[in-house]
């Protein structure tokens, strides 16, 4: 019986390692099934250990013999294009495979270039996200761009000072920039320079403070109405 059980577990684990989880899940007996799952975890851990070591060696060997750079991600390619067109705008140290870090100064020109250049053609501004990097540090705006022609997407990040946050507006480059920037202004107080109609959009015009900043303190009353506090520390 136990031999039978062990054999069953072993078979199921082997199948699961090849990607067929159903073999484990279809075991009728609950105890056997949980044993099989435990065995699977163990097997996976060992497999990861053995595969991780040689693979890192492989990599170093590969890079030593061929010295071929890893293929650039799209973000890195676009960062290269921006850097060659607008020297000094890309912050290469903090850029990564998944985003491009830009200096705010020439953002408007860069945005126009990104929209019109045939290699980029980012005709759609998907999302503008304001981020508070922490009470002691700066604010950041993140733009997700997408191209309907090339079907590719990049993420641009621009940092701005907490005390006097200013970023050039791209409202005239993409129409939706208008509302997205108003929303970011509303929530973070980031001023988009050159925006023609920078007002609050979701909150009332006479609301105080910037709600999505981490150091935001809600006002006590609004026109005589007590403002409820956000509950903290849910568990």
* 108 and 169 Cβ atoms separated by less than 8 Å: yes
* Shortest separation between residue 193's beta carbon and another protein, angstroms: 21
Contact 72, 100 (CB under 8 A): no
Beta bridge partners of 166: 191
- Nearest to residue 44, comparing CAs of 26, 19, 61? 19
Nearer to another protein, 17 or 105 (CB): 17
Q: How far is the CB of 153 from another protein (least distance, A)?
A: 8
Rounded Cα distance between 4 and 158, Å, is 62
SS3 state of residue 12? helix
Q: Whose Cβ is closer to another protein: residue 90's or residue 154's? A: 154
207 phi, psi to nearest 5 deg: -70, 145
> Shortest Cβ distance from residue 46 to another protein (Å)?
20
Using CB under 8 A as the criterion, which residues of the chain lie in contact with another protein when the complex forms? 21-22, 25, 123-127, 129-132, 142, 144, 148, 151, 155, 174-176, 178-180, 187, 200-204, 211-212, 230-235
Structure token digits, residue 22: 């159903």
Cβ count within 10 A of residue 199: 9
79 or 156: whose CB is closer to another protein? 156
CB of 2 to another protein, least distance (A): 25
Shortest Å, Cβ 211 to another protein: 6
Using the minimum distance from each CB to another protein, give the nearer residue, 194 or 211: 211
Residue 85 or residue 144: which is nearer to another protein going by CB?
144
Report the C-alpha gap between 45 and 154 in whole angstroms. Answer: 35
What's the CA gap between 235 and 225, in Å, rounded? 29
Decide whether 72 or 127 has the Cβ nearer to another protein: 127
**CA dihedral of residues 65, 68, 70, 76 (deg, nearest 10):** 150
CB of 204 to another protein, least distance (A): 7
């Amino acid at each position: 019986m136990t031999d039978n059980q062990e054999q069953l577990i072993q078979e199921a684990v082997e199948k699961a390692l090849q990607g067929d989880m159903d073999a484990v899940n279809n075991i009728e007996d609950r105890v056997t099934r949980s044993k099989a799952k435990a065995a699977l975890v163990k097997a996976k851990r060992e497999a990861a250990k053995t595969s991780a070591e040689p693979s890192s060696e492989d990599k170093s060997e590969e890079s030593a013999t061929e010295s071929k750079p890893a293929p650039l991600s799209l973000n890195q390619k676009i960062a290269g294009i921006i850097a060659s067109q607008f020297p000094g705008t890309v912050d290469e140290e903090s850029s990564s495979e998944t985003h491009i870090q830009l200096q705010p100064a020439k953002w408007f020109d860069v945005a126009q270039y990104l929209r019109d250049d045939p290699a980029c053609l980012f005709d759609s501004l998907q999302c503008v996200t304001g981020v508070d990097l922490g009470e002691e540090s700066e604010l950041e705006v993140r733009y997700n761009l997408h191209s309907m022609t090339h079907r590719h997407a990049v993420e641009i990040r621009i940092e701005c000072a907490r005390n006097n946050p200013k970023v050039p507006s791209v409202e005239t480059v993409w129409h939706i920039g208008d509302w997205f920037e108003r929303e970011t202004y509303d929530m973070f107080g980031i001023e988009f320079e050159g925006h023609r109609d920078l007002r609050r959009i979701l909150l009332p015009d006479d609301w105080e403070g910037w709600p999505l900043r981490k150091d935001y303190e809600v006002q006590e009353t609004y026109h005589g109405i007590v403002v409820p506090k956000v509950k903290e520390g849910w568990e």
